[in-house]
Amino acid sequence: MKKQFWKYILPSMITFLVTGIYVSVDGFFVGRTVGDVGLGSINVAWPLAALILDIGTGIGMGGSVNISHYMGAGDKKRADKAFGNTLVLLMLFSIFITVFLLLFGKPLLRLMGAEGELLKLGSDYIMILSSGAVVQVFATGVTPLLRNQNKPMLAMALMLMNFTIDTILSGVFVMVLGLGVRGAALATLAGQLITCIPALFILFKKENRIPASCYLPKKDVIGSIIKVGTPVFGLCFIPSLTILIINRQAATYGGTTAIAAFAVISYVLSIGQLLLQGVGEGTQPLISFYYGAKDKKAVKTFRKWTYYMAFTVGILATIIIILLRDQIAGFFGVSHETAKVLQTALPLCAFSLPLYAFSRVTTEYFNAIKKSRSSAVMVYGEAIVLLPLAAFFLPKLFGIDGVWYTVVLVQLLLLFTGIILRLSNYHAGKLLRS
């Protein structure tokens, strides 16, 4: 079992770690060439950019969980239908999000607080990314499907290739050609396109092909994919929603300097958060498979190991961020004023990562065993209740420091929510068995 655990979790962790660094590449190059306003523009636009990626991840994970569950139960025919319908959903949603952002991207940025140069640069960034949304949706959506086909190393290799291409092209487009924010967006699209092509080729190889009838949309199959994928989408999008809400409060209580500081914080935290996402998603195929096979002992063992790994990673990430906070500010080339804000804000926000480890793994576990209601409570309870309330009241009490306190308090409240849900599911299971 340990061999299985490491076989799935290590490639997933590396894949998501690289994803986190990859997300920060734009900030590194833009911060050093355009400055605080460039960092701020990408951070303001990021929730819309993340919307594209998270739709792909949610659909891909929704399909992946269903495929694993059916394979564990020995139902190959239904697993093939889930695979085919997942690809259909990826195409339909990619078309929808392209049209939506091209029409409403700039007005949404204005609603999110962008104005002046921030609005102009942010709009340039999101218009380019939305034009290639189909590439991004498929690039993120096929990764869980590859892991499900027992190819976690391949999924990791493709992500590493994407990261390398994007980093090289960002350097060329932003720093050499002087394309600024637009160059960062073009490099992102080019990297995803180049790596998406071989992923699709592998999924459609002769030995992986499924009957054409499996691509016909089936209401119950699509419903099951969306039911599982919706909490996953929400979980992926929560950090971006946090960026949106915190940006508004940072602008109110600290101006452009605070927005630039939070841009750096969000880049750094995203690396830790995505690494923890890699822990949770890495064991999803195993937990889903053994849950479908009704092997409770294996499910419990993999769940325990996943929690241990996530807490360890969260604590180590927090320590590293606190120790390197001065170097982090210099790395992104921020102004002296922004670096001064980061001295306090970065350590405060870093303490959210060990708490995030629990909430992330708990939500992924609920998804893996198809407890979508509990997963949705975790995800949308944070998005709709905890985050808005904390972001509204804490800055009123503590000023700009209250903005940073919000990040930690929300994760602490989610920890208690997760414990209550775990206990309620446990007792409900005992009642059903009695």
Read off the pLDDT of residues 103-155 as tens digits, 9 standing for 90 and up.
998 888 887 777 788 788 889 889 999 988 888 888 888 877 777 666 767 77
Question: Is a pLDDT exceeding 90 seen at residue 74?
Answer: no
The per-residue pLDDT for 23 is 66
Q: How far apart are CA 25 and CA 267, in angstroms?
A: 9
Average pLDDT over residues 240-245: 76
| AA identity, residue 158 | L
Q: Select the highest-mean-pLDDT range: 23-37, 176-190, 205-219.
A: 176-190
CB neighbours of residue 304 within 10 Å: 10
Q: Which range, of 63-72, 131-140, 352-361, averages the lowest pLDDT? A: 63-72
Percent of residues, the chain, with pLDDT higher than 70: 94
Range from 171-180, 203-212, 252-261 that averages highest in pLDDT: 171-180
Residue whose structure tokens are 């569950």? 69
What pLDDT, on the 0 to 100 scale, is given for residue 434? 39
- For residue 354, the model assigns a pLDDT of 94
Question: How many domains is the chain built from?
Answer: 1
DSSP state of 286: H
Residue-wise pLDDT for 291-304, tens only, equals 878 888 888 888 88
Asked if 244 contacts 47 with a C-beta cutoff of 8 angstroms, the reply is: yes
Q: What 3-state class would DSSP assign to 333?
A: coil
- Could you tell me the CA-to-CA distances from 50 to 72, 90, 93, 425 in Å, in that order? 32, 15, 14, 32
- 433 confidence band (pLDDT: 50, 70, 90): very low
Question: What domain range includes position 134?
Answer: 2-433
- Classify the phi-psi angles of 276: left when phi > 0, otherwise alpha if psi is within -120 to 50, otherwise beta: alpha
Check residue 237 and give its pLDDT: 77
Over residues 261-275, the mean pLDDT reads 85
pTM: 0.67
Q: What share of the chain is helix, strand, coil (3-state, %, to 5)?
A: 90, 0, 10
Q: Is residue 62 helix, strand or coil?
A: helix
d(CA 64, CA 67): 5
Buried b (16+ CB within 10 A) or exposed e, 31-65: bbbbebbbbbbbbbbbbbbbbbbbbbbbbbbbbbb
Instruction: Give the tens place of pLDDT for each residue, 374-408.
Output: 887 887 788 788 888 998 899 999 988 998 999 89
371-373-378 Cα angle (round to 5):
100
- Which of the four pLDDT bands, split at 50, 70 and 90, describes residue 430? very low
Residue whose pair of structure tokens reads 């630039």 in the numeric block: 260
Measured CA distances, 185 to 22, 90, 345, 346, 375 (Å): 12, 21, 28, 26, 33
Express each pLDDT in 87-111 by its tens digit. Answer: 899 999 999 999 999 999 888 888 7
